[in-house]
Amino acid sequence: MNKSLLAIAALALVVSGCGDAKTPPTVSESPSPSAMVVSGQWITDEAGNIMEDPQTSGLIAVNSQLMTIADASALDHQQLKLHTIAPDSAQITAQSATFTQSNRVRRSCFSPYLSNSPDLEALVVDPINPNVFYTVTEDATRTGALSVSCQNKVANTGSTDYPTLLVRLEGDSTGNIEITHVRPIQFPAEYEVGNFPNDGIEGMALHTDGTLYLGLEKDKAGQPRVFTLMLNDAFWQTSDFAVVSDPQLDVPRFTQGNHPINGMTLYTYQNGVFLLAAARNDDELWIIDTQGNKATKKLQLSFQAPALEGCAASIMDNASIEGLAVIGQTLYLINDPWKQHYLENITCEAEKPRYEAMAPLLFELTLDSGWFE
């Protein structure tokens, strides 16, 4: 059985891109003395070769393995696939076949975009059907214009000219993953999301009750936001707009600067359900109580690349975390190498080829019960 088949067989048993146009951090400074140091491993294949420029933009736990997805800035051979990573070794153990499209999707307004380097951001697995995944698109400005009929149908996005798309994926035992459904997302006008094609939805987390949390990098006022959709039995029976709601979570607010949410996952502690959100520009982990009983906590992190021959372990100048996943009591974090800033991490010659190749790292952090109390 080849690696693609192994990957899909494993799925049957189980349960954020940084392009060059991203808004840069407001402040660049040394790590805070109070920051928790989070150690990372370079993601490699079985031969020890680095994972070259995958622009990893989401992370999920799948049968005690991790899976990630690439955005539109990745090398072509990394795109439109799911990549499986062993959490202990950070080794790539499999990758899926290139996504195909169902007849329904091929007949939709969005087939051309989804065929040609779609900017896929974030990834979740369905808690009921472990062969089903959901991803979301961000910047579609690189695509051609929609047909007149399609423009008329999806003009009222409440945000960008080209709509954000929620995409359903389903794997089978043959190693294929198909884009089965797609729905455009609509933001009510009163939410004042604004038109920011490359500062849109970059984080997702899915609760077992079907609540899908969507993390927006910034709205019209420059604030990060969290919205929700309810994925129920009827959700994919239509291709019309899916209209988001505002759950009024305690998302941090700021008076200046850019503080986007770039990755999310959920964690259940005792009777509470918490949203763990990565604030990429701030190197922070936000602990948000989805039930509104506890104030949000902001944890300062500092990301450390491992030692190489002739190089000591080094604190990264810019990690750009874009994916979070929990296995047991361990939080795994994956970065999306920010092409404008990644070379600033180089501290010695042995690191240079890895940073020049935009190779990502897998970090891990033990969850502390005190964060949720």
**Beta-bridge partners for 263:** 278
Are residues 82 and 74 in contact, defined by beta-carbon separation less than 8 angstroms?
no
Domain spanning 3-20+35-372: CATH 1.10.10: no
Distance CA 212, CA 244 (A): 10
Among 26, 39, 256, 233, residue whose Cα is nearest residue 126: 233
Q: Is the pLDDT of residue 106 over 60?
A: yes
Q: pTM surpassing 0.85? A: yes
What is the per-residue pLDDT for 5?
41
Average pLDDT over residues 178-194: 98
pLDDT range class, residue 65, cuts 50, 70, 90:
very high
Which pLDDT does position 101 carry in this prediction?
Answer: 98
For the chain, the structural domain boundaries read 3-20+35-372
- Closest by CA to 292, choosing from 311, 275, 269, 267, is 275
The percent of residues above 70 in pLDDT, for the chain, comes to 91
pLDDT tens digits, one per residue of 135-168: 999 999 877 778 899 999 999 999 999 999 999 9
Q: 13 pLDDT exceeds 50?
A: no
User: Would you say residue 318 has pLDDT above 90?
Assistant: yes
Instruction: Flag whether pLDDT at 285 surpasses 50.
Output: yes
Strands 56-62 and 36-42: unpaired
Mapped to the 3 state alphabet, what secondary structure does the chain carry? CCHHHHHHHHHCCCCCCCCCCCCCCCCCCCCCCCCEEEEEEECECCCCCECCCCCEEEEEEECCEEEEEECCCCCHHHCCCEEEEECCCCEEEEECCCCEECHHHHCCCCHHHHHCCCCEEEEEECCCCCCEEEEEECCCCCCCCCCHHHHHHHCCCCCCCCCCEEEEEEECCCCCEEEEEEEEEECCHHHCCCCCCCCCEEEEEECCCCEEEEEECCCCCCCCEEEEEECCCCHHHCCCCEECECCCCCCCCCCCCCCCEEEEEEEEECCEEEEEEEEHHHCEEEEEECCCCCCCEEEEEEEEECCECCECCEECCCCCEEEEEEECCEEEEEECCCCCCHHHHCCCHHHHHHHHCCCCEEEEEECCHHHHC
Mean pLDDT of 301-312: 96
pLDDT digits (tens, 9 = 90+) for 336-345: 999 999 999 9
Average pLDDT over the chain, rounded to an integer: 91
